[in-house]
Structure 1
Amino acid sequence: MHWLWAIAVGLVLGVLARLILPGKQEMPLWLTALLGLVGGLLGNAVAHWIGVGHTKGIDWVRHALQLGGAVLMIVVGAPLWARLHASRKAT
């Protein structure tokens, strides 16, 4: 059941990241969820590394880092997807 929760959180993080970023990202929803999931894991790792992975109450810093990781992954992944998709259309 954890994998289902991870996919849902990844989708939410990916969609939020795409809303934050200016312009239109031409990539499918599954890739948004995957990049959001990877960004969330990256944000969790950074949160644990700096010592704010588990706090009392709501972990706002960890959630902000997860969203930041998702934004970073969308910033990196969207142009790569567009380039790959454009090269497939050209062939």
Structure 2
Amino acid sequence: MNIIAWIILGILAGALAKAVYPGYQGGGILSTMILGIVGAFIGGTLFTFLRTGTLQLTSATFSLPGFLVAIIGAMIAIFLWELFQRRSRA
């Protein structure tokens, strides 16, 4: 997947994950894009692990199922980020 498709998938997946995930998540377009790209890797890796049983670092593809996997992965990334932030404040 070329870099433009990565950026588009990252922005869309990150924005939708922020809209669906409960609570307020700060950050601008850059953090949304990074969140979406990280989410695509998390979701793609988990999806590959559940489907094949092997742990490979893969990303979601630029398709509807890949987009849904990227959104779920971005929601996991939001959860992990909030967990890390809450732990570092305490």
Q: TM-score, normalised by structure 2?
A: 0.66
* Per-residue CA distance 1:1-47 (angstroms, 9 max, x = gap): 70111011011000000100123212121011101111111111122
* Per-residue CA distance 1:44-87 (angstroms, 9 max, x = gap): 1122222279xxxx763x44332111011123336767xxxxxx
Q: TM-score, normalised by structure 1?
A: 0.66
Q: Which amino acid aligns with 1:73?
A: A
Specify every segment of 5 or more residues in structure 1 that has no aligned partner in the other structure, as ranges.
Answer: 82-91
Structure 2 residue aligned with 1:73, among 69, 73, 77? 77
The 3-state SS of whatever aligns with 1:4 is helix
Specify every segment of 5 or more residues in structure 2 that has no aligned partner in the other structure, as ranges.
Answer: 53-57, 86-90
Note if 1:5 corresponds to 2:9. Answer: no
Alignment of structure 1 residues 48-67 onto 2, 5 Å: 48-51=48-51, 60=65, 62-67=66-71
1:42, 1:69 within 8 Å by CA — same for their partners in 2? yes
Distance in 1 (alpha carbons) for counterparts of 2:67 and 2:3: 18
1:18, 1:71 within 8 Å by CA — same for their partners in 2? yes
The 3-state SS of whatever aligns with 1:51 is helix
Paired residue total: 80
Identical amino acids, percent of aligned pairs: 24
Distance in 1 (alpha carbons) for counterparts of 2:27 and 2:82: 6
